[in-house]
Homo-oligomer: A and B are copies of this chain.
């Protein structure tokens, strides 16, 4: 009666086969259907395998009609594949399996499968996809790693992956399958480095402040102010770490610009450490935002703390007689300090919001760049100014340098100041012009001869234009 399906090109082509009707198998099959393929399912129990459109066949029957077979079955159940090896002769088997832990088995699942069915071409891949992502169509822009010994087989699987909306990356022969099987077991791989930096900085500054504040007060004045560890110290460490992290987020971009200026070309790869650093800028920035958020809440909570109230009350008791003048400079100073902090935090949050995937997706490249670069550097500037104002009338007092150590808020201003100075140099019209030309693809004739040349170059560009 109705031939609507005919309008869509599913017919003609050979179906794809999916072994296994669990969550993953069903989701993969559905997704393949949505991409215009026809699909047959193979199941241990073809008659009782849950809600599948058009039903499932036995493994052997399903394998008959297809040359590509997706194995969505746990490694434990691979036994039946060995039994039906003759039916799988010349087929491409895509091993999607994962393990619960690293090193659960002596060999990779895909290599084990290849040993069981030597006549088939095993391709390892797609194991990074979850049933959930397949069901919800969240594949766009994701990468599919493939490996396998047959180039033809990989090519065929690669075509299917492309149609699923994935970007394919060939990782070589089947011996790489161990590596591929370890991918989904990683937890937040791109957060490792940023988290280590954040924890290292936190530990260092905590220790530094502990000595200068709590231990110093105990040793020199015999006062026990250990209760400060909980909030006062934390509220010094968090803004410090946040500011340093924020500057570490913008430092690699500045370094990269200087490297490009020095080399006179954009076509040479950056050193590996810089590449790695640049790839985790987003994570560094988000951690900085996290610390800034904690700093904000710690600050809001200050006036309800027992210690603060006590100080306020006892100061008044002791101050009963002395006259109490209003210091206009003090009012201006502290208020400016707070205003810079608030504005900095506001911009911080704005940066964080635009790094939400769905918000970022609505921005054009120019807009994204404007926010993450221009607004980011303004945020860094405001936050650094916030830090400078904090110490503006303290850095010349001897009492600031307890036990001859500089206070934390001075140490934390070093990196941001360097980043800002370097950025200002890059914004000088002559430097900016050269850099823009390099980034458009222009290459200096006497490439990578050194810094003098790049200076010469900047001067020349300026005179030419």
Q: Which residues of A contact B (CB under 8 A)?
A: 1-10, 12-16, 30, 33-38, 53, 66-68, 74, 76, 90-92, 100, 121, 128, 130, 132-133, 135-141, 150, 152-153, 156-160, 162-165, 167-168, 184-188, 224, 226-227, 230-231, 234, 290, 293-294, 296-307, 309-310, 312-317, 319-320, 324, 326-328, 330-332, 334-336, 338-339, 342, 345-346, 349-350, 356-359, 361-362, 364-367, 370, 436, 440-441
Q: Which residues of B contact A319 (CB under 8 A)?
A: 313
Contacts of A66 in B (CB 8 A): 4
Interchain residue pairs with CB less than 8 A apart (26) = A1-B150, A4-B157, A6-B13, A7-B12, A7-B15, A8-B9, A9-B12, A9-B13, A30-B167, A34-B162, A76-B441, A100-B440, A136-B361, A187-B366, A187-B367, A187-B370, A301-B342, A302-B303, A304-B338, A306-B331, A310-B324, A316-B317, A317-B324, A357-B362, A358-B359, A358-B361
Please measure, in the bound complex, the distance between the C-alpha atom of A313 and the C-alpha atom of B76, giving whole angstroms. Answer: 73
CB pair B335–A227 under 8 Å, yes or no, is yes
From A35, A157, A306, A336, name the one whose CB has the most chain B CB atoms within 10 angstroms. A306
Complex interface: chain B residues within 8 A of A74 (CB) = 440-441
| A362: chain B residues within 8 A (beta carbon) | 357
Residue of B nearest to A37 (CB): B7
A334 and B300 CA atoms in complex are apart in Å by 15
Identify which of B140, B309, B331 contacts A138 (C-beta below 8 A): B140
Do residues A163 and B306 form an inter-chain contact, with CB atoms below 8 A?
Answer: no
Query: A91 CA to B130 CA in the complex, in Å?
Result: 39
Bound: A332/B229 CA distance, A: 9
A162 to B27, CA, bound (A): 12
Residue in B167, B316, B361 whose CB lies within 8 Å of A316: B316
- Bound together, the chains give a CA A8 to CA B13 distance in angstroms of 6
Contact A313-B314, Cβ < 8 Å, known A37-B8, A121-B1, A227-B332: no
Given contacts A138-B140, A297-B345, A303-B303, 18 further A-B contacts (CB under 8 A): A2-B92, A4-B14, A6-B14, A8-B9, A34-B164, A132-B365, A137-B139, A138-B141, A187-B367, A231-B338, A293-B349, A296-B297, A301-B342, A307-B326, A313-B315, A316-B317, A357-B359, A358-B358
Please name all residues of chain B whose beta carbon is closer than 8 Å to the beta carbon of A356 when the two chains form the complex. Answer: 356, 358-359
Least distance between A161 CB and chain B CB atoms (Å): 9
Contact (Cβ within 8 A) A2 B135: no
Partner of A334, one of B4, B100, B305, B324: B305
Q: Which residues of chain B have C-beta atoms less than 8 A from A128's C-beta?
A: 364
- CB pair B130–A136 under 8 Å, yes or no, is no
- Docked-complex contact B297 and A346, CB < 8 angstroms: yes
Residues in B with CB closer than 8 Å to A366 are 184-187
Smallest CB–CB gap between A265 and chain B, Å? 15
Which residues of chain B are near A35, meaning CB under 8 Å? 8
A305 touches B230 (CB 8 A): no
* Interface pair B313/A312, CB less than 8 Å apart: yes
Q: Which chain B residue lies CB-closest to A339?
A: B230
Provided the pairs A5-B159, A92-B2, A359-B357 are in contact, do residues A326 and B310 lie with their beta carbons within 8 angstroms?
yes
Residue among A152, A162, A293 with max Cβ neighbours from chain B (10 Å):
A162
Shortest Cβ distance from A188 into B: residue? B367
Task: Kindly list chain B residues whose C-beta atoms are within 8 Å of the C-beta of A38.
Answer: 7
Closest to A333 in B: B306
Question: Are A361's CB and B133's CB within 8 A?
Answer: yes
Whole-angstrom distance between the Cβ of A148 and the nearest chain B Cβ: 11
Bound together, the chains give a CA A35 to CA B34 distance in angstroms of 9
